[in-house]
Amino acid sequence: MRVFCTVTGTQGHANEVLPLATALAEAGHEVMVTAPEHLASVFEGAPVRVDPVMPGIFEVMQAIFSLGDERRKNNPDEEVVVDNRLQMILWGGGPHITSTFRTILPIAKEFRPDLVLRDGGELTGVLVAEALGIPHVSCPSGPTNVTDPAGLLPFLNERRQEVGLVPQSDPWSIYPYGRIDCVPSSHSFTQYEVPEAVAYRQPATLKDTEGLPPRLAELPGDRPLVVASVGSALPTVMNLKAMGINPPEGMLEPAHTLRAIIEGLSSLDCHAVVGTAGIAVEDVTPGDNVIVMDWLPQMLLLQAAQLFVSHGGYNSVREAVRQGVPMVALPQFGDHHHNAERLAALDLGVHCTDVTAEGVAAACHRVLTEERFTTGIREAHRRMLGLPGIEAMVSYLESVVAKHAS
């Protein structure tokens, strides 16, 4: 079986595809990944071919906001707001899809795939599969959870018409062969009605690591360990500002959020490790109980943690559930706000809306001391551990191709 993968966006999007692409290749299938140049390194060491031809986040965001500007120009009397819902729709179905399709279709034709496996927020793969007459399946994805299929349909049909494909009438036409997720259906994070996913157990790690650095491994066990991280997407998004593109509407200043986290955890009776993703945080002095690092081995460190403070990205949420760690979420943009509300509804943690040192400390204290969060995360953890391993997804994808060919 030959599998053609499409990835765009940030490192988290590539991390969603990496385990499945690797498992398919290790099972003897030929796998080719098309990704932006800045994400090619995510697949280093994996037994797959990588072609760095996909647009980066700058090109995608530029296309989204240029479309908003165009609509404002054509409708001067109408207030055109590119809110979060529309941003997610345009991420999947904006005008950049047409040029991306024309770039990667010849590559796909030469590769002759039997299946397209796409990052859930990457919709060019849908059109490539339709053009080649082959099935396509989406990977676990935050954008998938918060993209309105009905709202997306007219935009994606515009793209279909631009490249000579037949428009579709079914909003679920992006899932005719199913979708894959890493959480049990009882704990789904989907915001809109979509087909139930075929789920597998979130991997405990993405790549082999050398173990925790001694500084972290030697932390005493006398107090709870709190891990905090703002994810890999925020530095990328903030770089857009330097390129003349405003960050997503409603996004907080990451340095302000990190400052509140560091100061809040400094006041708690805990050990804390904070990953800044390289974002400079000035005018803050961490307490003796807080270690601040640019990057931290998040998935490994969570195995020893009692609380995870994050931006609420879907990868981070799944990783915390995989290790049975309750959460405090300080959402920034995209799917983060929905994820924060959902994890609070499931008693997996707290959606912290008071982004101050006092607000962060209070939210962390709640999660560390209230029994309902321990109960909630235990249930989710056990249900995730009841899901099959990634080998089941290889069999599932093989069956999709076999059924389509019969």
Query: What local confidence, expressed as pLDDT, does residue 89 receive?
Result: 86
Neighbours of 2 (CB within 10 A): 16
- DSSP 8-state secondary structure symbol assigned to residue 179: B
Per-residue pLDDT tens over the stretch 124-181 = 999 999 999 999 999 998 988 999 999 999 999 999 999 999 999 999 999 999 999 9
Burial of 169 (0-12, 13-18, 19+ CB in 10 A): exposed
Distance CA 118, CA 37 (A): 17
Each domain of the chain, given as residue ranges in start order, spans 2-201+388-405, 214-385
Query: What local confidence, expressed as pLDDT, does residue 99 receive?
Result: 93
The mean pLDDT of 9-35, rounded to a whole number, is 95
pLDDT band at 71 (very low <50, low <70, confident <90, very high): low
The mean pLDDT of 41-59, rounded to a whole number, is 91
Task: Encode burial over 48-57: b for 16+ CB neighbours within 10 A, e otherwise.
Answer: bebeeebbbb
Distance CA 227, CA 298 (A): 8
Say which residues have a Cβ less than 8 Å from residue 248's Cβ, sequence separation at least 6.
84, 87, 237, 332, 333, 334
Closest C-alpha to 229, from 9, 11, 4, 2: 11
Distance CA 119, CA 125 (A): 9
Per-residue pLDDT tens over the stretch 192-235 = 999 999 999 999 887 766 789 999 999 999 999 999 998 766 66
For 46, the token pair is 């994996």
- DSSP 8-state secondary structure symbol assigned to residue 136: E
Contact 55/34 with Cβ under 8 angstroms? no
The mean pLDDT of 261-276, rounded to a whole number, is 97
pLDDT band at 10 (very low <50, low <70, confident <90, very high): confident
pLDDT band at 185 (very low <50, low <70, confident <90, very high): very high
Tell me if the domain spanning 214-385 has CATH number 3.40.50.2000: yes
- DSSP 8-state secondary structure symbol assigned to residue 334: T
The mean pLDDT of 75-94, rounded to a whole number, is 76
Query: What local confidence, expressed as pLDDT, does residue 11 receive?
Result: 86
Distance CA 352, CA 344 (A): 10
Distance CA 90, CA 80 (A): 14
Q: Do domains 2-201+388-405 and 214-385 have the same CATH topology?
A: yes
Distance CA 251, CA 162 (A): 33
Query: What local confidence, expressed as pLDDT, does residue 239 receive?
Result: 65
Residue 386 has pLDDT above 80, yes or no: yes
Classified as helix, coil or strand, 268 is coil
Query: What local confidence, expressed as pLDDT, does residue 399 receive?
Result: 98
pLDDT band at 251 (very low <50, low <70, confident <90, very high): low
Tell me if the domain spanning 2-201+388-405 has CATH number 3.40.50.2000: yes
* The pairing of beta strand 2-6 with beta strand 115-118: parallel
- Share the mean pLDDT of the chain: 91
- DSSP 8-state secondary structure symbol assigned to residue 218: T
Distance CA 202, CA 51 (A): 26
Query: What local confidence, expressed as pLDDT, does residue 88 receive?
Result: 83
